[in-house]
Amino acid sequence: MIGRQIVLAARPEGEPKESDFALVETEVPTPGPGEILVRALYVSVDPYQRGRMSEARSYAKSVALGEVMTSQTVGEVVESDDDRFDPGDVVVGQLGWQEYAVARGSALRRVPPSVPPTLALGVLGATGLTAYFGLFEVGRPVPGDTVVVSGAAGAVGQVVGQLARLAGCRTVGIAGGPDKLADLTGEYGYDVGIDYKADDVNGALKAACPDGVDVYFDNVGGELSDLVLRRLALHARVVVCGQVSQYNNQTPELGPRLLGLLIVHRARIEGFLVTDYAPRFGEAIPRLAAWLAAGKLRYREDVTDGLENAPRAFIGMLRGENRGKALVRVAEPG
């Protein structure tokens, strides 16, 4: 059997181009003892994948040239030599941008039939879990806090705002463009939305956060974050989830040295990775599912059709063109 894959064809310099990827057809491996063959339904498109395309040392190994692009994938079990999985089961795992993948059971998580498969990549998957553990474990919001989120209409940001609201916080979301701005207060319940492309961000932040920023959940970095950091409240917590504005830089961009502000405000800036919380995913997913079922957690998905279009969806996502969680539909459930 032949399957299609998107592999890394070249290491991007700056912004990735479609020619940095290649669509290839390869023989699908036969699953060995204890292995499972999965047919992809949807693959995920996320900012961290830009880091894996680079050779710079990071928390995970780079994708090698010619190797399948890494991604979370939700798919259907086709064959299984593991008693825990049966053909037809829907599973999620780090299976990459490809139609078929072979994995061990320990690398897969089952998605219950009641859950729409795309949610296993979004609110009930890596992005929802990122929001949950980043906000609650690193940001530690308490009722009355003002929580500012950058990339607030993105896959993670849309969830963070709603979780902060559930925690009794005032929420201020920053995103780019009129559609996302409308979503911030309309769909995601932010108390205040700021359009960084159109608004005087500094003035808007000042007006929205008269007592300063208690928690800043940062997906973006760069100049936008400089403005927020200058408005920290006493004992503020800055959650560094992503720095998407910086990912295409070949060398670090220069910005003002602001660490002295951490003394003034006795504040903390902390980075995290959702994978470190894997042993606790089972604690978070039922809560997220319950909020979803109760209508307390809303989301948007931005679905691109066809595996061959994953590079384009990815490049657009890095530019902020997606409205909600970016996904690529590879196949219909069989």
d(C-alpha 220, C-alpha 212), whole Å: 19
d(C-alpha 93, C-alpha 90), whole Å: 10
Q: Could you say whether residue 15 binds a second copy (CB under 8 A)?
A: no
Choices 167-175, 180-188, 205-213, 260-268 (CB under 8 A): range interacting with a second copy:
260-268
Among 50, 165, 231, 265, the residue binding a second copy under the rule CB under 8 A is 265
Minimum Å gap between C-beta 237 and a second copy is: 9
Q: Could you say whether residue 263 binds a second copy (CB under 8 A)?
A: yes
Q: Could you say whether residue 58 binds a second copy (CB under 8 A)?
A: yes
Choices 30-38, 54-62, 198-206, 286-294 (CB under 8 A): range interacting with a second copy:
54-62
Among 49, 80, 225, 322, the residue binding a second copy under the rule CB under 8 A is 225
28 or 220: whose CB is closer to a second copy?
A: 220
Q: Cα torsion for 266, 157, 240, 248, to the nearest 10°?
A: -140
Q: Which residues, at least 6 apart from 218, have a Cβ–Cβ distance to it below 8 Å?
A: 150, 225, 228, 238, 239, 240, 241, 242, 243
84 or 266: whose CB is closer to a second copy?
A: 266
Among 32, 257, 282, 332, the residue binding a second copy under the rule CB under 8 A is 257
d(C-alpha 319, C-alpha 152), whole Å: 14
264 or 294: whose CB is closer to a second copy?
A: 264
* φ, ψ (nearest 5 deg) of residue 300: -120, 145
Helix (H) or strand (E) holding 185: helix 178-186
d(C-alpha 217, C-alpha 169), whole Å: 13
Pair type for strands 108-111 and 90-93: antiparallel
Minimum Å gap between C-beta 264 and a second copy is: 5
Q: Could you say whether residue 264 binds a second copy (CB under 8 A)?
A: yes
CB 16 within 8 A of CB 311: yes
Choices 3-11, 52-60, 108-116, 287-295 (CB under 8 A): range interacting with a second copy:
52-60
Helix (H) or strand (E) holding 285: helix 281-293
d(C-alpha 171, C-alpha 189), whole Å: 8
Q: Which residues, at least 6 apart from 185, have a Cβ–Cβ distance to it below 8 Å?
A: 173, 191, 192, 193
Q: Could you say whether residue 254 binds a second copy (CB under 8 A)?
A: yes
Minimum Å gap between C-beta 51 and a second copy is: 8
DSSP letter (8 states) at residue 275: G
| CA atoms within 13 A of residue 71's CA, in its CB half-sphere | 35
Among 32, 143, 210, 260, the residue binding a second copy under the rule CB under 8 A is 260
Amino acid at 78: V
259 or 294: whose CB is closer to a second copy?
A: 259
Amino acid at 68: V
Locate the DSSP E strands across 189-242. 192-195, 213-218, 232-240
Neighbouring-strand partners of residue 325: 301
**Structure tokens given for 183:** 């979503």
Minimum Å gap between C-beta 241 and a second copy is: 7
Minimum Å gap between C-beta 139 and a second copy is: 12
Choices 100-108, 187-195, 258-266, 313-321 (CB under 8 A): range interacting with a second copy:
258-266
131 or 241: whose CB is closer to a second copy?
A: 241
221 or 324: whose CB is closer to a second copy?
A: 221
Among 252, 279, 295, 334, the residue binding a second copy under the rule CB under 8 A is 252
Among 54, 62, 94, 246, the residue binding a second copy under the rule CB under 8 A is 246
d(C-alpha 71, C-alpha 77), whole Å: 17
Choices 121-129, 147-155, 215-223, 296-304 (CB under 8 A): range interacting with a second copy:
215-223
49 or 118: whose CB is closer to a second copy?
A: 49
